Structure 1
C-alpha cells in the first residue's frame, strides 16, 4: 500500500483527451498529483506534454475524460480560475521583465498598495522585505533583491518563480521543463528547490524529457508518446535504468539496434561481392 492510499489527489486526470480538428494531441491520459509528492511527466518533443500543461493550467479545455480538483470534476475556463483554485504554472519563458528588479517581478501583477485615494501607491518597502524573506524561506540567498532579474542565472530565475508560486498560495506547482536549458550545476539548484516545494506540502507536476532529473525528485512517473501513455509507475516500481529505457523507446531501440547490426554485418559481404565484379569488368591488361 502506498503512502497516498485513501487520500484524495489534489489533481487527477482520468482518460483525458484533447483534439485539435483531426489532430490527436492527447488520448486517454491519466495521472494523479498528491500533496507532498512530485509527479513527473516524461516525453520527447511532440509527446503531448505542452497540451497536458495547458489543460491543467486552464488554457485549454479537455474534450474527453475527467479533470478533478480535490475530488471534484471540473473544467477550468481560464488560467485565472486555475490560479484561484491553487494551480500555479511556471512556463519555460518564466514571464519575467528582465530589466525590472527581483522584488518587482516577484509581485508582478499583484503589487500591494498603501495610502488612500489619489495618494495610493505601491508599498515598495513591503515588497522588498517580503521578497527577501520568502526567498530565504526557500533557501534562496540572493545578493540583492534590487538587482534586475535579467542579471540572474537561468537557475536562479526558476527558483524565484517557484518561491513566488509558493508565497501566493499555490497548492499545485506545474513546472514546464525547468532544467531544459540549464547546465548540470544550475539544474541541480532548480531540483533542490523543486524538492523544497514538495517538502512544503505542494503537489508538483514536473514536465521533463530528462529521466535522470525526474528520478532524482520524482514519486510518480507518467510517460507520454504521441499523445498517449506508454507507462505509469511509482518510484518503488521502476528503476532508473528501466525508466531511461522506456523513455528512450525501449523495444523500438532494440529493433533499431538489430537493424544497424545487420547492416554492419552485411558490409564486409557486400565489399567482397563487389570486388570480383569490378575486376571482371576491367579490360584485359588492366588491374
Structure 2
C-alpha cells in the first residue's frame, strides 16, 4: 500500500490502528521468518498441548497437540468426524477446550470469543467465507471494518480509500481482479478464497486458519488457492491448513497432524514423511491392509 493511502487511512477513526498494526505485524513477522528460517527453535504463535473437548458424553477431541510457527504451514488432516471442525473452533475462540493447554505467543490462555482471537492475531477463513454475494469485492474486503471520513452528520464511508486499498492489497498478493466493483458472488470459488486470504493478511493476522479451502474446487482453482496460501506463508504468517486431501497438504505443508475420531493419529515434519506414507496413514494404514486381505478372493 502506498504512503499516501496509509496517510489518508489515518483519518479514518477505528481503522488507522488496525491498518498500521497489520502493516507492522506483517513486516515484523516476515523479517523474523526470513532471519530465523522457516523451521527453527522459536516460540510458536499458537501451541496446543494435549487439548481435549467433550460435548456431554461425546468426545470430540482428546490429547491433540500441534504447533504453528511464523512462516510455516501446519496441515491438519482427517476424514469427516475426525475432529477438524472442533479444533478450528477452539483456535478461533468459538469454543473453549476442556483439557490440555492452549498457548498464544507462548502465553497460556483460553480464548473467550472470535473477537478476542482476532485481537490476538488469529484470523479464520471458514468454508462459507461469510461474504455477501451481491456486494462488491471492496465492500466485502472491509466488511465490518469500514473506514469513514468527515465528522458529525457529514461522516460517511470512505469509498475511494476502500476501492484503492482493496485493489492494491490484492495486487500485492498477486491477485489481479478485473474490477473490484463487481459483486463478489460473480467470482469463482478460488478467487473468493484468495480475497478472504488477502483480507486477513491486510488486517494484521499473525495466524491464518483455513477450513478446507480447496474442498469444493477443481484442480486449477485449487492450485490458485494453494499459491496464495504459500504467499501468506511467505508474508510471515503461521498458517493452519485444514484438509482431507494429502496431495494438497504435501504441496505446501511444513508440518502434518493427522486426526482420527478426535485423537492424534500422527504428527510429522515434512522431512520425516513421504507423500506416499502420508496418503497411506490418511487412508487408514494397517486397517486398509486388513480390509484388502478380507476382500481378496479365495
Structure 1 unmatched ranges of 5 or more: 266-287
Partner of 1:74: 109
Q: How does 1:155-194 map to 2 (within 5 A)?
A: 155-194=190-229
Specify which of 131, 148, 154 is matched with residue 166 of structure 2. 131
In 1, the alpha carbon distance for the partners of 2:151 and 2:214 equals 44
TM superposition shift of 1:6: 2.5
Structure 2 unmatched ranges of 5 or more: 1-36
TM superposition shift of 1:38: 0.1
> Is 1:5 aligned with 2:40?
yes
What is the root-mean-square deviation of aligned Cα atoms in Å?
A: 0.8
User: 1:135-184 deviations in whole A, cap 9, x for unaligned?
Assistant: 00000000000000000000000000000000000000000000000000
TM superposition shift of 1:223: 0.1
TM-score (norm 2): 0.87
Partner of 2:27: none
In 2, the alpha carbon distance for the partners of 1:217 and 1:104 equals 30
TM superposition shift of 1:115: 0.2
Partner of 2:29: none
In 2, the alpha carbon distance for the partners of 1:125 and 1:107 equals 12
Partner of 1:54: 89
User: 1:75-121 deviations in whole A, cap 9, x for unaligned?
Assistant: 00000000000000000000000000000000000000000001000
Partner of 1:98: 133
User: SS of 1:100's equivalent?
Assistant: coil
Instruction: Report how many aligned residue pairs link the two structures.
Output: 262
In 2, the alpha carbon distance for the partners of 1:158 and 1:93 equals 10
Partner of 2:18: none
TM superposition shift of 1:5: 3.5
- Contact persistence 2:38–2:71 (CA under 8 A): no
Deviant stretches of 4+, over 3 Å: 2-5
TM-score (norm 1): 0.91
